[in-house]
Amino acid sequence: MKFNFLTLFPELIEVHMRSGVIGQAIKKNIIEFESVNPRFFTKDKHKTVDDVPYGGGDGMLMLAEVLEKSLQSILEPAQKSNQKVKTVYLSPQGRLFRQELITDFLNYDQINFVCGRYAGVDNRFVIKNNISEYSLGDYVLSGGELPALSMMDAIARKIPGVLGNQESSELDSFYEGLLEAPSFTRPGEWQGLDVPSVLISGHHARIKEWKEFMSVLVTLKKRPELLLYTQSKSAILLPSGRRISLIDVEAFYSSLSDKEKIVCGIQDMVIRGDEN
């Protein structure tokens, strides 16, 4: 997959693309990227990319024409080679980007990220090209580069081969709609806090079960609004359609020692609050 960034600050993109798993994926040619600087498509000697907004208001807006030329410079070759392309404008007004939206992005050969700066872009550019707007969250950043890189990174992690064998995205938070179970590394005891014994037992089936129930408990504690329930409210309904009985979750919770609850940050929880 190829990721293109329309940006006035290509150096911000380069740094990220050279590091970590993304840098490795580029070296292995699993993903490609290109930065296109709208300034390159200006005609005047000052290389102007912005102008004042009609109707007044603070800040400057990026010009539709330079953005259009930048975008067409990427779209034309992609169309000639029948690439499936999606173009995104990063915007605080856009659809909130979430993990479950990634599956759709994986259907494309090329994703173009239009990174706004200043007070944003001339809206006609977005409308004319029917560009989807995506937001990273309900706050305003200075530019679209960080949200574009965040989206690219989250999408790339789901492309086969990007993560090495040791890093599986299947245990990450949001897999199956749940947060990840708490993680611990060496030493087994640190400042009086012990790693839950099951994790050092070597018993894979028990560890898997512990992680699954722990994921439910951590999600209930930290982000309860993420959970869906069956109509009877007797079970949690995962996006895959799988159900996890709340009686089982409660029994698992009762089986944990106080120390284990503390080290996992899940003490004093009421699991079936509605029914009690």
Ligand X SMILES: C[S@@+](CC[C@H](N)C(=O)[O-])C[C@H]1O[C@@H](n2cnc3c(N)ncnc32)[C@H](O)[C@@H]1O
Tell me which residues touch ligand X (CB under 6 A). Answer: 90-93, 115-117, 119-121, 135-137, 139-144, 147
Residue 1 Cβ vs ligand X, minimum distance, rounded to whole Å: 21
Residues paired with 190 in a beta bridge: 193
**What residues contact residue 77 under an 8 Å CB cut-off, 6+ apart?**
none
Residue 42 Cβ vs ligand X, minimum distance, rounded to whole Å: 18
Q: Which is nearer to ligand X, 115 or 214 (CB)?
A: 115
Q: Which two tokens stand for residue 77?
A: 């070759």
Q: Which is nearer to ligand X, 33 or 253 (CB)?
A: 33
Ranges of beta strands (E only) in 141-208 are 189-190, 193-194
Residue 236 Cβ vs ligand X, minimum distance, rounded to whole Å: 30
Q: Which is nearer to ligand X, 143 or 182 (CB)?
A: 143
230-240 core/surface letters (b: 16 or more CB in 10 A; e: else):
eeeeebbebee
Contact, 33 vs 3, CB < 8 A? yes
Residue with the shortest CB distance to ligand X: 116
Residue 85 Cβ vs ligand X, minimum distance, rounded to whole Å: 19
Q: Which is nearer to ligand X, 74 or 236 (CB)?
A: 74
Residue 118 Cβ vs ligand X, minimum distance, rounded to whole Å: 6
Q: Which is nearer to ligand X, 81 or 130 (CB)?
A: 130
Distances from the Cα of 74 to the Cαs of 126, 130, 249, 272, in angstroms?
A: 16, 16, 51, 54
